[in-house]
Amino acid sequence: MNNLRPVGVIGTGKYVPEKILTNSDLEKMVDTNDEWIVSRTGIKERHIAAPDQATSDLAYEAAIKALESAGMTGSDLDLIIVATITPDSAFPSTACILQDKLGAKGAAAFDLSAACSGFVYGLATATSFIKSGLYNNALVIGADCLSRITDYTDRNTCVLFGDGAGAVIVGEVPEGRGFKSFDLGAEGAGGSLLQLEGGGSRLPASAETIENKKHYIYMNGREVFKFAVRVMGTATLEVLNKAGLDRSDVDLFVPHQANIRIIQSAMQRLDLPEEKVVVNVDKYANTSAASIPLALVEAAEEGRMKAGDTVLMVGFGGGLTWGASVLVW
């Protein structure tokens, strides 16, 4: 990236709903077992939104904490980006709902759809806007309520997903810190490997789409797994290259939390020891756009980064998409 003003993370917050769904709970719902889920995915439990909670409610809780940690209120924001594939409704955007709730009068607000890569796409978007001088303080949130689009009779998918939200405030930081590079990409040809077909302009909601379960996530797990392993490696090396850094420069690796085996393959490729890798897939499962910010914010809360550390985030997901970023904390 060019040498316009340095932009980085100046506040963090996260939220997960109270209710926990464990593997043993799922054993009572579908033909599965704790041993299969843990050995194939690393997941032990996930959080599930209450019936009266929508994505904007999870996002709001995370946003309030991020604003507090930045010493700001909603009125300090001039941009709000919510990365999500489970907006409260098709429109208005979840970002606009949030803008109102936060009292961020006049701030630009929009949702961003890049599935599990959405948060990194959102960081790149906010950083570009701020570097250009168009805006100063952006709220970037990854929030999803995947439980609302999960078929709890399908063991192939229902064990994998959870709900949550992670938020950061993006703004100007001291020289030498902030975002050093991004690598975003997509392979639209693989879109049908991971999708929710119903409810859009191609297949509007109807009795037939409901009967055919078109309002639930469909995933070809094996093919997505192969894509994930490939792009986690290539995107990571590419984003390091763009930042002029080497694998050994990474102090903390914050990968998308979809499957422990995918994370381990990236660790091997990058030759990273466990203490440099954030893993919380066991507690939250795959929360889509919330996954990377939940991991990043949790690591910050646990004091795992100090000023000047090099943090590498990388995610992949529906689209198919990927996104990686190097951030000096």
Which positions lie near ligand UT7, rule CB under 6 A? 32, 36-37, 40-41, 116, 155-156, 159, 221-222, 224-225, 228, 258-259, 262, 286, 317
Tokens of 83: 């990365």
Q: Please, which residue, 105 or 226, has the CB nearer to ligand UT7? A: 226
The dihedral region occupied by 95, where left means phi > 0, alpha psi between -120 and 50, and beta the remainder, is: alpha
Q: Please, which residue, 11 or 315, has the CB nearer to ligand UT7? A: 315
* Strand partners of residue 20: 47
* Cα–Cα distance measured from residue 45 to residue 40, given in angstroms and rounded to the nearest whole number: 14
* Cα–Cα distance measured from residue 33 to residue 37, given in angstroms and rounded to the nearest whole number: 6
**Of 116, 137, 145, 158, which residue is the catalytic one?**
116
Rg from Cα positions in the chain: 19
| Annotated catalytic residue 96 | no
Residue whose CB is nearest to ligand UT7 in the complex, by number: 221
**Of 96, 145, 256, 259, which residue is the catalytic one?**
256
Question: What is the DSSP track for 229-279?
Answer: HHHHHHHHHHHHHHHT--GGG-SEEEE--S-HHHHHHHHHHHT--GGGB--
* Shortest reach from residue 257's CB to ligand UT7, in Å: 9
* Shortest reach from residue 289's CB to ligand UT7, in Å: 10
What helix, strand, coil percent values describe the chain, rounded to 5? 40, 25, 35
328: number of Cβ within 10 Å: 21
Q: Please, which residue, 228 or 243, has the CB nearer to ligand UT7? A: 228
* Shortest reach from residue 195's CB to ligand UT7, in Å: 11
Strand segments, DSSP code E, in the chain are 7-15, 19-22, 45-48, 79-83, 108-112, 138-145, 163-172, 178-186, 194-195, 218-219, 252-255, 310-317, 321-328
Classified as helix, coil or strand, 163 is strand
User: What is the 8-class DSSP label of residue 320?
Assistant: T
Q: Please, which residue, 5 or 40, has the CB nearer to ligand UT7? A: 40
Q: Please, which residue, 136 or 156, has the CB nearer to ligand UT7? A: 156
Q: Is cis: bond before 92, omega within 30 of 0? A: yes
Classified as helix, coil or strand, 125 is helix
* Shortest reach from residue 249's CB to ligand UT7, in Å: 27
Q: Please, which residue, 41 or 150, has the CB nearer to ligand UT7? A: 41
Q: CB within 8 A of 134, min separation 6: which ones?
A: none
Strands of the 7-15 sheet, one edge to the other: 7-15, 163-172, 138-145, 79-83, 108-112
Q: Please, which residue, 114 or 312, has the CB nearer to ligand UT7? A: 114
| Annotated catalytic residue 256 | yes
* Shortest reach from residue 149's CB to ligand UT7, in Å: 12
The residues carrying an active-site annotation are: 116, 256, 286
